[in-house]
Structure formats: C-alpha cells, structure tokens
C-alpha cells in the first residue's frame, strides 16, 4: 500500500485521510491500521512506508523520528474502527482524531453519568432516545479526539473536556489544565464515508482542512 503524492502542508492545515475496508478481526485490524498510517505519512516525508520509524510520548502518543531518533515530519493521529481508518496530518498543529460508526448503540443512558460531566449527562437525559444516542456519540468522538491531541489518553480525562450536546462541529464549554487556553482549540466534525462520524481536534486554529481517500481525494462533510 502506498500513498498518492500529497499537496504541500501549511503549518495551520490539516489533511484527513480515509481508508475504507480492511479485515474484520480486531487482531488483524491493528496491522491494517499501521499499514494505512505508514502509507499516508510516507508521502509527506519522502520515505518508503516500511522505513518509517516511530517513538512514543510517555502516555503512548506516537511521533515520527529520523535515523538518529530525533522528532521529524508532520504532526499526526489515527483512529480505526470496523470498516474504516482515518489519519489526520497537520503541519504544526497538535492534532487528534476519533472515528466511530454512526450505527453504534452503546448503553448511553448508563454510560453518560459515568464518563461525562454532570451537565452533559443531564443534557443527554433530557433528550428522546435516538437524539440522545446520536449526541452521546458526538460527545464521545469530540472528547476522545481531544484527549488524543493532548496525549493523555481517555481514562480519567473524558469528563474534563466539556462540550455542548449537539451533533455538528463540537462547541467546547470547558477544558482540562493540560489543554492550555481553551479558546485556542478548534474542532471539525466530518463524515468521511456514509455510516461514519469523526472529529478532528487541534490545539490552534485550523486554517484549512482537506480530505482524501487512499488513493483518490474526496470533498464534503
């Protein structure tokens, strides 16, 4: 798998790559997602996918390194679920992305009080069943993308990111200390393919967002 040539990546730009399909078995999806990630990043650093090297931050967030182990290349983040993978690549913005299937039906009435802030759980409880399910997924993708951008992981952090219970671009109501200035953050909700929803979270203003598939570009939201 190799990526098509990519356009220049400005410091405030974000490129979102979609790869549909892949194996159904969870154990095989990890290798598939790694191949997608390498294919995408190879186009930005002019290096064969198999030759790319990675290191990890203390909480596990990966980054590219050169032959001497020094950080190199663009910022990036990946999310994978059954049937699809997204990779977000940024010139300089700290970026996180989360992807979910739109048809997921988690026990949201029970999970919201456990994982979300009290005001978010109350807002969901006031909604009818289907709007509440959709809003739960919208909040989850916004929160997880944000946690991935800071590099903390989700455990113990989801409730510290507070968003309005809506299904469009996430509206941030409150952020944890590791986020820094809340006003500096920007968020975009995407529909990379029918049946999926994704959120891109960035520390900094997103100047341009372009979306692609492997190998052809796609547009729209």
pLDDT the model gives residue 8: 87
- What is residue 130's DSSP assignment? H
pLDDT of residue 217: 45
Q: How many CA atoms lie within 13 A of 216 on its CB side?
A: 2
pTM > 0.85: yes or no? yes
Per domain, the residue ranges of the chain are 13-213
Provide the pLDDT for residue 4.
Answer: 53
DSSP 179: G
Counting other chains too, the contacts that 30-38 makes at CB distance below 8 Å and 24 or more residues apart are 30/80, 32/80, 32/85, 33/78, 33/80, 33/85, 35/1, 36/1, 36/78, 36/80, 36/85, 36/87, 36/214, 37/76, 37/78, 37/87, 38/1
- The predicted pLDDT at position 1 comes to 41
DSSP for residue 3: P
Q: What is the pLDDT of residues 97-138, one digit of tens each?
A: 999 999 999 999 999 999 999 999 999 999 999 999 999 999
pLDDT at 6: 78
pLDDT given at position 5: 64
Would the CA dihedral through 10, 170, 109, 59 be positive or negative? positive
Residues 13-213, CATH architecture: Alpha-Beta Complex (3.90)
Which parts of the chain sit beneath pLDDT 50? 1-3, 216-221
What confidence score (pLDDT) does residue 140 get? Answer: 97
């Amino acid at each position: 798998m190799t990526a098509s040539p990519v356009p220049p990546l400005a410091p405030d730009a974000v490129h979102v790559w979609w790869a549909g399909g892949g194996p159904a078995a969870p154990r095989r999806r990890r290798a598939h997602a790694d191949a997608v990630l390498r294919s995408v990043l190879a186009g930005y650093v002019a290096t064969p996918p198999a030759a790319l090297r990675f290191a990890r931050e203390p909480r596990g967030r990966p980054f590219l390194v050169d032959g001497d182990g020094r950080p190199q290349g663009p910022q990036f983040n990946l999310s994978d679920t059954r049937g699809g993978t997204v990779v977000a690549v940024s010139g300089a913005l700290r970026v996180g992305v989360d992807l979910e299937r739109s048809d997921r039906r988690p026990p949201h009435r029970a999970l919201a009080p456990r994982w979300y802030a009290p005001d978010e759980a109350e807002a969901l409880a006031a909604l009818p069943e289907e709007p509440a399910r959709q809003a739960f997924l919208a909040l989850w993708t916004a929160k997880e993308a944000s946690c991935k951008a800071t590099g903390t992981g989700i455990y113990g952090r989801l409730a510290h990111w507070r968003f309005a219970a809506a299904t469009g671009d996430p509206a941030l109501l409150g952020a944890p200390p590791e986020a820094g200035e809340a006003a500096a953050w920007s968020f975009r909700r995407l529909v990379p393919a029918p049946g999926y929803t994704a959120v891109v979270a960035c520390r900094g203003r997103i100047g341009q967002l372009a979306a692609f598939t492997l190998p052809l570009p796609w547009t729209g939201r």
